[in-house]
Amino acid sequence: MKFFVDTADTSEISELNALGLLDGVTTNPSLILKSGRDILEVTKEICGIVDGPVSAEVAATEYDQMMREADVLSKIADNICIKVPLTFDGLKACKAITGDGRMVNVTLCFSANQALLAAKAGATFISPFVGRIDDTGEDGMELIAEIRTIYDNYDFDTEILTASVRTVNHVKQAALIGSDVATVPPAILKQLVKHPLTDKGLDAFLADWAKTGQKIA
């Protein structure tokens, strides 16, 4: 499963990218607001840090303006992936943009039928928001499983990008189900490495190693 980081914070992106664990980045209008930076400037910087797809979201809701915004965003860098909302205008834009050979991430997906439409519109990625579904009392991961089945039934190439990830368990479940990608906030990506038995075991090995009096290098 590929890991994207869900942030527009360039220092977090640089830190995670240096670990060699990042396959891409997703941003959205709320994350741009949180960064306090100009969308074109910060997105260009992010595209220079990571080699993989960097999702940048259009702000328009109407097709013609979405296409104008997509053209501006596309000029930022070759690894830009245009993010459009799951509406009929968004799907129409998705078809046109992917038809030009550009990547599209269809966002704000909350149902299997929406994901089916996005695949038929040629989406590169579909972003089901699992955390926001959990917030309503439903199980967001069930949606990932449904989309996996539907995409496999018809051999759709659209990649499932599990989004709105709130816990390390979301990451594990996404991987078990066969999500192609998970976009994960930096803090949760960092939590993935942690296990108390790893810390305990390492302390014991280090203590024993010190007693040997040896050095490897």
Please give the residue whose beta carbon sits closest to ligand G3P in the complex.
Answer: 164
Selected range binding ligand G3P among 45-53, 90-98, 125-133, 170-178, rule: CB under 6 A: 125-133
- Stretch 62-91 residues interacting with ligand G3P (CB under 6 A): none
Which residue out of 44, 75, 83, 215 is catalytically annotated?
83
How far does CA 139 lie from the centroid of its chain? 19
Question: Which is closer to ligand G3P, CB of 136 or CB of 214?
Answer: 136
Cα separation, 194 vs 192, whole angstroms: 6
Question: Which is closer to ligand G3P, CB of 102 or CB of 132?
Answer: 132
Question: Which is closer to ligand G3P, CB of 131 or CB of 186?
Answer: 131
Reading the block at residue 195, the tokens are 């296990």
Selected range binding ligand G3P among 11-19, 58-66, 129-137, 171-179, rule: CB under 6 A: 129-137
- Stretch 147-206 residues interacting with ligand G3P (CB under 6 A): 163-164, 183
Assess contact for 97 and 119: CB atoms under 8 A. no
Reading the block at residue 215, the tokens are 């050095």
List Cβ neighbours of 86 (8 Å cut-off, separation of 6 or more): 106, 107, 108, 109, 110, 114, 117, 118
Place of tokens 């968004």: 90
Q: Cα-flanking dihedrals φ and ψ of residue 44, to 5°? A: -60, -40
Q: Active-site residue 172, yes or no?
A: no
Question: Which is closer to ligand G3P, CB of 85 or CB of 122?
Answer: 85
- Catalytic residue numbers? 83
